[in-house]
Amino acid sequence: MTHKAWRVAVNAPLPEPLTYLWQSETPARAGLRVEVPLGKRKVKGTLIEPDENPNKEFKVKAIGEIDEDQLSINQKELDFLSWVSEYYIHPLGQVIETAFPPLKRFSRIKKERPELLPEARSTDEKVLTEDQQKCVQSIKSLSGFQAHLLHGVTGSGKTEIYLELIKEVIDRGQSCLFLVPEISLTPQLVQRFVDHLGPQIAVIHSHLTEREKTNEWWKAYLGEKKVLLGARSALFCPLPDLGLIVIDEEHEPSFKQDEKLKYHGRDAAVKKAQLFDCPIILGSATPSMESYRNAKENRYHYHQIKSRIGSVQLPDIKVVPLKQDSTEREESKNSPFPFWMSPELYGAIQETLTRGEQVALFLNRRGMAGTVVDFISGESPHCPNCDISLTLHGKNHLLCHYCDYSESLEYATQRMGSEELKPLGLGTEKIESDLGDLFPDIKVARADRDEITSRKDLEDLIKRVENNEVDVLVGTQMIAKGLDFKNLTLVGLVLADIGFNMPDFRACERSYQLITQMAGRAGRHLKDRKGKVIIQAMNSDHPSIEYSIKQDFSAFADFELGFRRSLSYPPYARMAAFRISSLSQEKAKSLSQKLRQRAEAMQSRFEVFSDIHILGPSPAPLARVRNQYRYQLLLKSSNPNHLRELCRRLIDNKAKWIPSGTKLLVDIDPQNLF
């Protein structure tokens, strides 16, 4: 019997599903995509469950049309999406919409780019090392849902372990989901998967057109491709008979989406694996503190590989302090090198180039200089829309990296009433320019968001480096992960301090991870000697650097977890961030204060919330972006259920008590606090 009334999750910012009448002769089923009237418009929706007792006081509208592709998701997928909606406090209909492709299945106009996958190469079958084989057998010995943390140093062959396990899943006729950070989804990785698994791969990432995403979605959805390789959003694609989930570089903060649905791809994937009763592997050379603690407390199975494949050794790491006393500063005025180039780094570059090998120089800041400054007043030109200094690009172009506002250096000089503005700081563009002066005969390439604006740009750059058409690669964190170049033997971290003093309790962890990951690019294929890493820093005794030199992750983790435990920060507590913004500073400030008062009132009324700590409100570290003034209020508790319940109550009926012109957003388990 077909129920006449169904609860439908509509693609709109509504807290609950709505009830509609089912009048089609087609049998209704949970998970079916439909179109329903909402006010004067029609929106997409998904059948959730029959409504046995619809409210008779209101006229119930009829469901309009069934999706022409008969799209639907099964109950397990619905349960997963419902969990995401509940956990991250986001409307169910909008969460479910992420599970469907952006376009209809077939298009009248068939004009697509060539096949997304490269041709498979004949490759020698790799024999797993003893350590790799041990990991594979240990993971295979456990059935059903199990979470595994695969902790292997850079170059230890984690990908070979993934591929071996994926092959077995494919042989059983099941599907596999393999997620990587967007920045790591390189042509190199896709090529490796195609070489080992053939044309079994579907790929989804942000650089595809909507038609390409739709086509790849259908290949995975119908089981035509057994492996879905993608960035975090691929998590929502419904796969038939899911048998394995892999999250590579699980520590990466980019697995957390900061806009709209603020989910964490890694954490949500663990829940999906649990609901689908399949194993999940979290892999990293520098695991997150959350995953490492789960492993130490036996909630995750822990697998460690301490050495690189074969006779390849981890690189030698040398730290060069840039901090100088007065005598050294006087001597450096006569130096033939720019201020960022130490004699040690210069000598190492020269030796490496003489051997015909490649160099990578890392600086996590783009542009020619951090800013320009009037050395008389000490002032810098700020973006008129954001609370941030403008960055110098080229010789005459000032740019805001948050809203893309730009102006000429001459205009900024006139606007400030200054006689002269001079560059201060350093960016990748400046390093590239200086290298041209120091080594006029070498080929330099730069990889940052100014230079690499499309996936084709990245593909072309990788080919040039692989073909030895590049001697020195200069880049931001774009070059720190997922790249493996056989001839790259020297890595220089030009100013490793950048990021140490960010106003975020994860700053030390992220700095350590970035330093270690970048160092891991050096000498990955050397068998007769070690690669070399030079770390330049003003604060050369910072814990991130000290533990990177020792290449001892467990010692760093013990240090960092001790700090987190003492202050009840994650992973020893859970956090939620409320972000308040408005064009009016007074409105933003007033709403943030009102929010704290509401939280305190609920704590007084309900004892269950008494263990929640309220921090703030205070202006966000970046207090104004795109003319929006920003405040934040943080909640912290050891009980995630109590924390989320308070968050729900705080934003309940927010449309009725939040003044116009202000916005209030909640972020569960925030990864960025600025």
| Ranges of CATH 3.40.50.300 domains, the chain | 130-305, 316-367+426-564
CATH 3.30.70.600 fits 574-668, yes or no: yes
Is the pLDDT confidence value at 310 over 50?
A: yes
Q: Is the predicted pLDDT of residue 520 greater than 60, yes or no? A: yes
> What Rg value do the Cα atoms of the chain yield, rounded?
27
Cα(380)–Cα(396) distance, integer angstroms:
15
pLDDT greater than 60 at residue 325? no
Q: What is the pLDDT of residues 615-663, one digit of tens each?
A: 989 999 889 999 999 999 999 999 999 999 999 999 888 777 888 899 9
**620-625: Cβ within 8 A, 24+ apart:** 620/579, 620/674, 621/503, 621/673, 621/674, 622/386, 622/387, 622/388, 622/402, 622/674, 623/387, 624/385, 624/386, 624/387, 625/385, 625/386, 625/387, 625/388, 625/402, 625/403
Residue pointed to by tokens 């070498």: 442
The average pLDDT across 464-476 equals 93
Cα 359 from chain centre = 26
Residue 374 has pLDDT above 90, yes or no: no
Q: Does domain 130-305 have CATH number 3.30.565.10?
A: no
Query: What kind of architecture, by CATH, is found in domain 316-367+426-564?
Result: 3-Layer(aba) Sandwich (3.40)
146 φ/ψ sector (left φ>0, alpha ψ -120 to 50, else beta)? beta
Q: Burial code of 139-170, b = ≥16 C-beta within 10 A, e = fewer?
A: beeeeeebbbbbbbbbbbbbbbbbbbbbeebb
| Kind and range of the H or E run holding 603 | helix 585-605
Could you report the per-residue pLDDT of 182-239, keeping only the tens digit for each? 877 777 888 889 989 988 999 998 888 899 999 999 999 999 999 999 999 999 999 9
